[in-house]
Copies of this chain bind each other. A is one copy, B any other.
Amino acid sequence: MPPFDVPEGNPFGPHNLPYGVFSRAGSDERSVGVRLGDHVLDAGAAAHALGSPYASLLARPSLGPLLAAGRTAWSDVRRALTAWVTVPAHRETVESFLHPLSEVTLHLPFEVADYVDFYASENHSRNVGQIFRPDAADSLTPNWKHLPIGYHGRAGTVVVSGTDVVRPRGQRKAPTDPAPVFGPSVRLDIEAEVGFVVGVPSQMGEPVPLSAFRDHVFGLCLLNDWSARDIQAWEYVPLGPFLGKSFATSVSAWITPLDALEEARVAPPERTHPLLAYLDDAQEERAGYDLHISVAINGRTVSEPPFSTMYWTAAQQLAHMTVNGACLRTGDLYGSGTVSGPTERERGSLLELTWNGRDPLELPDGKRTFLEDGDVVTLTAWAPGPGGTRVGLGEVAGRVVPSP
């Protein structure tokens, strides 16, 4: 039987142990689960059976209490879990609380408090600038290298991987249209991103410095920031994206703790402009993460965005988000912004991959500029783990269904 028999090289081995929330067939009861290979461990039940002091954090229907418990608890719980799934004496007990992934339903693992989305890939931002402002002297806005640009999104429409996404309807108006028209979006897009999950809150009026990033952020997930480019283009001046983004944001069911990603830490790209003190990460060690993302449409990989190329780090984004005194809450989620590398096959949106529809993608079932009804988009990723292993990030998948 599985647990200790997870094959060598499985990206969800005992070196990973991401957290999620699951229910079993025929039951509404939600439980914190930890992924091990193709199984999920009922962490709370195992903790109770093993007499663990962490049962009160784990025997819950949400990751919320664990998120709020703080960095020392996060490490302690991870150490305990590692022992449970590796020490032979626990084998029989642990196996009795393992369920095949195919037999459980995965849920949104925590209640999203505030959701913020950033715009932190220089390649992505330059591509978008060139597409939409071809005559501008610089494809980046003047503020881009001085602060991580971000905005608030809709927390109530963050959904877990596997949730269908209804094609949004709304207003659009091409420059040549005499008036706006209403209907289903005809330029439905994705944005391949990484989401960061805040565990420990902060006080209003007290900024969170770069150095406190890991005291507040528990882990990360994959995130697809679905975008209706036609709705967005008509609405976004002067106050930013609204309905072009707010219809759905998909996240992976598994939250990978930062503690599982120590080997994946890398230096961010060289800073080309001097930074104000609260963002200056010259003294921060390896503040980037070397995550290798894949974007697939209907099973065909169309892009492999490299997260290590992101100009702004998650720690800088957290420091910026709070420097004005805004507080954090348990369950705050922030997206990195679309991840795009320097080459064509590394772009994280169809907007860029097809250069605004000019260069369609060739898929086995035909050409794509933007998404068609029935398309399934899947993001997956891995990171370097200890001893040459790979740490798998849980996938985020979603199918486009027609407007009603």
A-side residues, CB < 8 A to B, are: 113-114, 116, 119, 141-143, 146-147, 149-157, 159, 166, 168-171, 173, 179-180, 182, 204-207, 228, 231, 234-244, 246-248, 274, 276-278, 320-321, 323-329, 332, 403-404
Q: Name A247's contact: one of B159, B242, B246, B325 (CB within 8 Å).
A: B325
A399 nearest CB across to chain B (Å): 13
Q: Name A149's contact: one of B235, B278, B325, B327 (CB within 8 Å).
A: B235
Q: With the chains together, A238 CA to B152 CA distance in Å?
A: 13
Interface of A, helix, strand, loop or mixed by DSSP: loop
Contacts of A180 in B (CB 8 A): 143, 146-147, 276
Quick check: B327 and A156 within 8 Å, CB to CB?
A: yes
Quick check: A147 and B171 within 8 Å, CB to CB?
A: yes
Quick check: A246 and B152 within 8 Å, CB to CB?
A: yes
Q: Name A326's contact: one of B156, B235, B329 (CB within 8 Å).
A: B156
Asked whether A332 and B156 contact (CB < 8 A) given A143-B237, A168-B324, A326-B243, the answer is yes
Q: Name A236's contact: one of B228, B240, B241 (CB within 8 Å).
A: B240
Quick check: A182 and B276 within 8 Å, CB to CB?
A: yes
A and B contact pairs by CB, cutoff 8 A, 5 listed: A143-B180, A146-B171, A147-B180, A204-B247, A236-B240
Q: Name A242's contact: one of B141, B151, B166 (CB within 8 Å).
A: B151
Asked whether A325 and B166 contact (CB < 8 A) given A171-B146, A171-B276, A277-B182, the answer is yes
Contacts of A326 in B (CB 8 A): 154, 156-157, 243, 246-247
Asked whether A154 and B114 contact (CB < 8 A) given A276-B171, A278-B182, the answer is yes
Q: With the chains together, A240 CA to B246 CA distance in Å?
A: 15
Q: Name A150's contact: one of B156, B169, B239, B248 (CB within 8 Å).
A: B239
Q: Please list the 7 inter-chain residue pairs (A to B) with the smallest Cβ-Cβ separation, ordered nearest first.
A: A240-B240, A168-B324, A166-B205, A152-B152, A151-B239, A243-B324, A239-B240
Smallest CB-CB separation from A278: which chain B residue?
Answer: B182
Q: Name A169's contact: one of B170, B248, B324 (CB within 8 Å).
A: B324
Quick check: A205 and B404 within 8 Å, CB to CB?
A: yes
Contacts of A276 in B (CB 8 A): 171, 180, 182
Contacts of A170 in B (CB 8 A): 323-324
Contacts of A147 in B (CB 8 A): 171, 180, 234-235
Give the number of times this chain occurs in the complex, counting copies: 2
Contacts of A119 in B (CB 8 A): 239
A191 nearest CB across to chain B (Å): 13
Contacts of A321 in B (CB 8 A): 243, 246
Q: With the chains together, A30 CA to B42 CA distance in Å?
A: 36
Contacts of A234 in B (CB 8 A): 143, 147
Q: With the chains together, A277 CA to B171 CA distance in Å?
A: 11
Q: With the chains together, A207 CA to B167 CA distance in Å?
A: 12
Smallest CB-CB separation from A183: which chain B residue?
Answer: B276
Asked whether A328 and B278 contact (CB < 8 A) given A235-B149, A240-B151, the answer is no
Q: With the chains together, A327 CA to B320 CA distance in Å?
A: 29
Quick check: A152 and B149 within 8 Å, CB to CB?
A: no
Contacts of A156 in B (CB 8 A): 113-114, 326-329, 332
Q: With the chains together, A156 CA to B331 CA distance in Å?
A: 11
Q: With the chains together, A329 CA to B156 CA distance in Å?
A: 7
Quick check: A327 and B157 within 8 Å, CB to CB?
A: yes
Contacts of A239 in B (CB 8 A): 119, 149-151, 236, 240-241
What 14 additional pairs, Cβ within 8 angstroms, besides A150-B239, A169-B323, A247-B324? A113-B156, A143-B235, A146-B171, A147-B171, A149-B238, A151-B241, A157-B326, A166-B205, A166-B325, A168-B325, A169-B325, A238-B240, A246-B321, A246-B324
Residue among A156, A173, A243, A276 with the highest chain B CB neighbour number at 10 A: A156
Contacts of A159 in B (CB 8 A): 204
Contacts of A237 in B (CB 8 A): 141, 143
